[in-house]
Structure 1
């Protein structure tokens, strides 16, 4: 007897193949039979007549590293069909840390990953073990964050590493891989990663490649120098043999639009050369990140405390203003997008809640000052605990990238305040707007980009496809109604059309409602010994 069977649905198995009209039988956490099972006995039956049955969606870019511990907050991921997430993004995450670096990271990451109080872990193994003992809605897997390794070796110093320091970082990456990480990440616009050079990236990637890991990277520039930034990480992959995955691929700014197709061509050429490269993309023409990333790199040396001290100096403020106007050597959001396209998504305190969901020109007007001074004051008052939304692009480019064979879907969702609508809407938006309404993708191809393709990237052995013997992470959705409802103005609206979601064989979503089930697991890499 099956514990659960799903009958009468159209199965899209995650490979990109057309649908099949078959049933699925589940015992415990595993798909044990796919076939004609209508008459087979089962404790529970889901009638999927008129619905699509697909593997659970795998989100390759998230910031749920802490708030996965809060099911009442984290439930929105499973309500849009996400059953597995990849933590440890952008080279800035919650492990590994030490007693010296932990307080700095807790302060620095508060705006990005949220605040759960003290972290009762230091190593990656400690962190993953803590998650394993917690109530998790979905599955998760982890990347070794470059910044975590770097600060263990050299703190937040704003300089290049020595060869000896690079070697120490590589050893920390290798230890993280042995403890279950699936790769290494970096975010080359964020401190302290921003101070690294290509030689340092090569060394940490050697550590990941040795254990068959991937390199997931927010490249050094996504605007005027995006081609050079992409060439840098492709060369890292070429030298080390690591699998390269480019996070939230985009090219920001109208003046840089020609670089979008050129970037995709670079990735195609790398593939032809034999480099395994992929990228993820969210279905919006605006991004979201920490607000202090608008500041030039020299402001970040020493961490958040020193940044805030510098902001009190009038001469420093004037120097930053000059950088906003003229500096092309960093990811200059102000110059590339304009203050009118930079919107405050969340602040940490109540006193500045009025700033949420307003662009910086509007905030400056309300405060009777300039947008530059408003930004500096807001950073000081909130101790940099702010996230922003930056409107950067064009939908024509978005669709062009979405249709590229190397693309997978990733949300880059950030919790807190009035977040970017991608937190609540990414996967239903792809299925509703870009598949059903605009015809940018076929349904089977969209499902592949959410399931089988990211599972291949992460080398997941038993998830991402609907195959007998695989884990029963399954989404049942209505292709005629599935849709995101979250907007920039009202980002906390839940999607519609995601009827059922199973995580490890248990119903986390039933009739579009979260059941309270916490059946998620930590998925550690099975590669604990070197492969090369």
Structure 2
């Protein structure tokens, strides 16, 4: 369509005028208008506005595609808060769930209690949502909840492995691999956008490379991505990257590296070296990308600091081992001496003084906001004993913020054209600030203050790049005929006050958010509309 042609259109639902249009492709912005009709972008033009039911003059503010959250943990939060409030106010219109291999389905009725306990520190509890024996039933339930945002999901390696093998701490047999492959195929047929794994989490921590290759053989014909929290982001980072890339090379599946980072002092300053692995892989024909959140600290479950063998065959076995003196001595040696190859030894890598308790199941205010080192000093105990005692007291339900990175590495990684944005935000009473602040922080700090990339490039990283990665053909770009998922913001005012001490702060500068042609945020206020849909491949 010629953007300078005379207008002969019928009445539109909404027309946004006097907009600085950033279309999501990385191309330079231009002043113009965007017409929306029946949930689609009807026209993008520099001409005067045609007739419309509603004309919204954005006064020179940016109009961009709605932001796509490449790594989200709202799997069960959508049933508690279908507006997904922390994301809505950041301009996010689409979230990708099922991350780190920990998905909500397929879970048979007899397994739901144990799997819910495993998921609760990353994606919330399944209790309020019920049992999902297939991805199809889960996605149907999400549609029934009428979310404000669009939601797609990945099949979870850990969920599938658990359904076949429980928490068994061993490699899979041929028969078990066949069963896992069958469940994966069913999940892909149900509309999953790809396959995810989290190779530091139980039970997939016990899988070998052959298991990953077998599952990716199922994934390969679909051309959907294999998304991974790799085995190590710290001490064994480059070995873990090599394994991940080799799986993509052998099976010809697209690869996507979750929350790309360099954890611990050993790897600090090596961001360019780590990026070279991605660039070399692409030279070899491997389609590889990554996502990143703009913080030096991550967040996960405290139980992730335990050696693989300490997870036992379920929560009760883990708690038994945590109480046993001989097991504690073995854990101490494994952490201190890095005795287990490829295990992501967070405590040994970053130190107990950099592990902050942000949320415990009981909500104890005397614990939240303290580091493991501070808790140990308060209790006159070793840091390991303080950690293990806390896990026992809270029955493993403890979340942490872990200060593991360096600012210059975060900034170097962000500038790569292969890296998109994902918050990895975990919903809790005392969350990491990334849950509320990731996207405005990118605009405020990385674009306006530090000038790491242009605003057009930052928008590409938040829109068309994740859309391409996850196969969302109708999203991520402002173009006629595509979905009317839009955000209007004023980049000179967009910022976040969300911090490690006070994370639940909504951002400023984001005026309008539109999902499938309906306002969910208008003039900075929630509308109560819930036009979101599940996205099924």
* TM-score of the superposed pair, with normalisation by structure 2: 0.95
| Shift of residue 73, structure 1, vs aligned partner | 7.1
The CA deviation at 1:72 is 6.8
What's 2:7 paired with?
A: none
Question: 1:422 aligns to what?
Answer: 434
Alignment of 1:76-95 (within 5 A): 76-95=86-105
Q: How far 1:407 sits from its partner (Å)? A: 0.5
Task: Give 2:209's aligned residue.
Answer: 198
Of 59, 64, 71, the residue aligned with 2:69 is: 59
Gaps of 5+ in 2: 1-10
Given that residues 108 and 131 in structure 2 are in contact (C-alpha distance below 8 angstroms), is that contact kept between their aligned partners in structure 1?
A: no
Q: 2:265 matched to which residue of 1? A: 254
Deviation at 1:432, TM superposition (A): 0.5
Cα distance in 2 for partners of 1:332, 1:73 equals: 37
Tell me, yes or no, if structure 1 residue 390 matches structure 2 residue 402: yes
Give the Å deviation of 1:360.
Answer: 1.1
Aligned partners of 1:47 and 1:95: how far apart in 2? Answer: 44
CA 1:155–1:39 in 2, change beyond 3 Å: closer, same or farther? closer
* Inter-partner Cα distance in structure 1 for 2:273 and 2:176: 35
Determine which of 123, 138, 152 is the counterpart of 1:127: 138
Distance 1:105 1:297 in 2: 17
> Which residue of structure 1 aligns with residue 390 of structure 2?
378
Distance 2:174 2:221 in 1: 19
Partner of 2:5 in structure 1? Answer: none
Please identify, of 48-57 and 33-42, the stretch whose mean Cα deviation from structure 2 is larger. 33-42
Q: Deviations over 1:128-153 (max 9, x none)?
A: 11111112011111111001111122
1:402-441 superposed matches below 5 A = 402-441=414-453
Runs of 4+ aligned structure 1 residues displaced above 6 Å come to none
**2:227–2:257 CA contact under 8 A, matched in 1:** yes
- How big is the alpha-carbon RMSD for the aligned residues of Structure 1 and Structure 2? 1.3
Distance in 1 (alpha carbons) for counterparts of 2:370 and 2:47 = 54
Task: Report whether the alignment pairs 1:173 with 2:205.
Answer: no
Q: Indicate yes or no: 2:51 matched with 1:34.
A: no
Partner SS state of residue 208, structure 1 = helix
Residue 352 of structure 2 corresponds to residue 339 of structure 1: yes
The 2-side partners of 1:514 and 1:284 are apart by 27
Report the CA distance between 1:116 and its aligned residue. Answer: 5.1
TM-score computed with the length of structure 1 as normaliser: 0.96
Counterparts of 2:317 and 2:162 in 1: how far apart (Å)? 15
The answer (yes or no) to whether the contact 2:355–2:401 under 8 Å persists in 1 is yes
In structure 2, the residue matched to 1:102 is: 112
| Aligned twin of 1:452 | 464
Deviation per CA, 1:459-499, whole angstroms, max 9, x where unpaired?
11100100110111001000101012100011111111111
Q: Distance in 2 between matches of 1:192 and 1:120?
A: 20
> Following the alignment from structure 1 to structure 2, what is the Cα–Cα distance between the partners of residues 480 and 106?
43
* Kept in 1: contact 2:256–2:291 (CA 8 A): yes
Q: Given the alignment, which residue of 191, 196, 210 partners 2:221?
A: 210
Whole-angstrom distance in 2 between the partners of 1:239 and 1:100: 36
What is the alpha-carbon distance in structure 2 between the residues aligned to residue 59 and residue 39 of structure 1?
31
Shift of 1:121: 2.0
Secondary structure at the counterpart of residue 372 of structure 1: helix
What secondary structure sits across from 2:330 in the alignment?
A: helix
What is the CA-CA distance between 1:258 and the residue it aligns to?
Answer: 5.0
Task: Determine if the alignment matches structure 1 residue 324 to structure 2 residue 324.
Answer: no
5 Å matches for 1:432-511?
432-511=444-523
Distance 2:48 2:314 in 1: 60
Partner of 1:46: helix, strand, or coil? strand
Q: Could you tell me how far apart the structure 2 residues matched to 1:515 and 1:304 are?
A: 42
The SS at the match of 1:398 is: helix
Count of aligned residue pairs for this structure pair:
524
Unaligned runs of 5+ in 1: 526-532
Secondary structure in 2 matching 1:460 = coil
> How much has 1:259 moved relative to structure 2?
4.2
Contact 2:83–2:148 (8 Å) recurs in 1: no
